[in-house]
């Protein structure tokens, strides 16, 4: 029987970050930074428990020059980085990010606040020469899904380009992923996308992507659709495409998943029984700690609630399934979208018959995507909703990263044969 892999942050790394943090900070400061009780930190210090889920928060306390362990470290680049959800999973395993590209200024702000120092965030990836990107072991990219236009193919064919993928994909952001893989030949890549990438443009988009990565770039490619509901109380199906430069024992289908249904909204909703953590970086922005209640601004106005009910009724009458999604403590939410800021209709929290439902707060959205409470939200609510709706379920990425890790670490670093010998 397959054993379930340990997921989430690496326990060894967490202990290592803690001991480094203790050399520069007092236990009370660490507790304040992580938003935990001082006794919790004390238990970590005397090794009664391990701060596994606080690895990321502890890492933020360390200077940038904090060395990564040789035996566990690998390097990676973070393309279409958003707010770094994929980065977090690979960093928690001891990976070191050497290059980031994200062109949205507000996402850059959140990213910079949460992954300080190191290197600057590069903007538009289409303007970056692949040769200017540092060498790396893993390329990570949650690239936007775009069709490959047939008109583009014939035009490029006429130009007599050397590589098929350049002909077929130029002008799309996948082209930029492919040209960087071609130039840098990382040991592995992980690409993330919406589930219907497979059926997009009648299957043509995915077919071009698969052929490019396997046939033209020579990688060993596997993919799997994973539902975030294995890790958080949210249905969020995403395709994850993983490729290795060399043959490996990686078997995506063998990745055991925690059972679905183990997570419900009560894990992520603000607690109104007095146990909601008081995060210094949030203050009372989302939750009023003196009245133990979510701020009223998240409750729908009568006008919006009436509109959403009317809209749902109209579609129900026509036999369509569109409508709002009400959740309670025991629910699993629908997919959080980047449009959540508009009316929040896909996930509305039920507040009893005498009160309109409310939207999730941005902190609850962060939790719904699996970000730890140490994650800072330095942008407006509207921007934050967009950023979390565009991001990934961190636990899904951590689970896949864990399976990839043995193929990325130092003792696995056999050199690649030069391209000219590869077909021999």
Q: Among 9, 85, 233, 362, which residue sits at the site for ligand SAM (rule: CB under 6 A)?
A: 85
Min dist CB 242 to ligand SAM, Å, is 15
Q: Among 86, 197, 349, 393, which residue sits at the site for ligand SAM (rule: CB under 6 A)?
A: 86
Catalytic: which of 97, 145, 167, 292? 145
Respond yes or no: is residue 292 known to be catalytic: no
146 vs 356, beta carbon nearer ligand SAM: 146
234 lines the binding site for ligand SAM (CB under 6 A): no
What is the rounded CA–CA span in Å between residue 94 and residue 66?
12
C-alpha closest to that of 121 among 82, 158, 86, 92: 82
228 lines the binding site for ligand SAM (CB under 6 A): no
CB atoms within 10 A of CB 40: 17
Tokens representing 162 are: 């050397």
Which stretch in 5-13, 82-90, 225-233, 289-297 sits in contact with ligand SAM by CB under 6 A?
A: 82-90
Tokens representing 300 are: 């729908």
Which stretch in 6-14, 80-88, 246-254, 275-283 sits in contact with ligand SAM by CB under 6 A?
A: 80-88
What is the rounded CA–CA span in Å between residue 226 and residue 399?
10
Residues 386-405 that bind ligand SAM (CB under 6 A): 390-392
101 lines the binding site for ligand SAM (CB under 6 A): yes
**CA dist 108 to 5, 87, 122, 381, Å?**
33, 14, 9, 16
Binding mask 161-190 for ligand SAM (x = CB under 6 A): ------------x-----------------
Tokens 């007095």 correspond to 274
Tokens representing 261 are: 């249904």
Min dist CB 82 to ligand SAM, Å, is 2
Q: Among 68, 103, 106, 252, which residue sits at the site for ligand SAM (rule: CB under 6 A)?
A: 103
What is the rounded CA–CA span in Å between residue 191 and residue 87?
12
Torsion of CA 240, 245, 249, 252, to 10 degrees: 10
Read off the DSSP letter of residue 234: B
- Given phi > 0 = left and psi -120 to 50 = alpha, else beta, which region is 363? alpha
Residue nearest to ligand SAM (CB): 82
Element (H, E) at 35: none
Task: Give me the residues that bind ligand SAM (CB under 6 A), please.
Answer: 80-86, 101-104, 107, 124-126, 142, 144, 173, 390-392
What positions carry a catalytic annotation?
145
């Amino acid at each position: 029987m397959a054993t379930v892999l340990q997921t989430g942050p690496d326990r060894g790394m967490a202990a290592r970050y803690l001991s480094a943090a203790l050399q520069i900070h007092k236990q009370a400061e660490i507790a304040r930074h992580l938003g935990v009780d001082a006794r919790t930190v004390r238990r970590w210090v005397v090794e009664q428990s391990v701060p596994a889920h606080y690895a990321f928060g502890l890492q933020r306390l360390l200077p940038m020059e904090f060395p990564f362990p040789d035996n566990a470290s690998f390097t990676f680049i973070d393309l279409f980085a958003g707010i770094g959800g994929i980065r977090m999973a690979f960093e928690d395993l001891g990976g070191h990010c050497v290059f980031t590209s994200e062109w949205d200024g507000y996402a850059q702000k959140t990213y910079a606040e949460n992954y300080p120092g190191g290197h600057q965030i590069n903007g538009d990836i289409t303007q970056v020469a692949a040769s200017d990107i540092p060498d790396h072991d893993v390329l990570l990219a949650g690239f936007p899904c775009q069709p490959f236009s047939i008109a583009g193919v014939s035009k490029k064919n006429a130009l007599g380009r050397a590589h098929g993928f350049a002909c077929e994909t130029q002008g799309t952001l996948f082209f930029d992923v492919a040209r960087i893989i071609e130039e840098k030949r990382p040991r592995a890549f992980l690409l993330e996308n919406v589930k219907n990438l497979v059926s997009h443009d009648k299957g043509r988009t995915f077919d071009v992507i698969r052929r490019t990565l396997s046939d033209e770039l020579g990688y060993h490619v596997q993919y799997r659709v994973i539902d975030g509901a294995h890790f958080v109380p949210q249905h969020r199906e995403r395709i994850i495409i993983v490729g290795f430069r060399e043959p490996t024992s990686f078997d995506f289908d063998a990745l055991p998943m925690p059972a679905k249904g183990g997570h419900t909204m009560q894990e992520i909703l603000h607690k109104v029984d007095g146990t909601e953590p008081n995060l210094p970086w949030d203050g009372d922005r989302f939750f009023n700690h003196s009245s133990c209640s979510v701020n009223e601004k998240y409750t729908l106005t009568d006008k919006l609630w009436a509109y959403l009910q009317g809209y749902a009724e109209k579609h129900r009458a026509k036999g369509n399934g569109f409508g709002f999604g009400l959740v309670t403590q025991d629910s699993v939410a629908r997919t959080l979208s980047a449009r959540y800021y508009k009316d929040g209709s896909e996930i509305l929290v039920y507040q009893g018959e005498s009160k309109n439902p409310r939207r999730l707060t941005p902190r609850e959205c962060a939790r719904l995507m699996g970000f730890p409470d140490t994650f800072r939200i330095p942008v407006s609510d509207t921007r934050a909703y967009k950023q979390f709706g565009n991001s990934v379920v961190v636990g899904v990425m951590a689970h896949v990263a864990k399976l990839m890790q043995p193929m990325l670490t130092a003792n696995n670093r056999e050199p690649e044969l030069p391209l000219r010998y590869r077909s021999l």
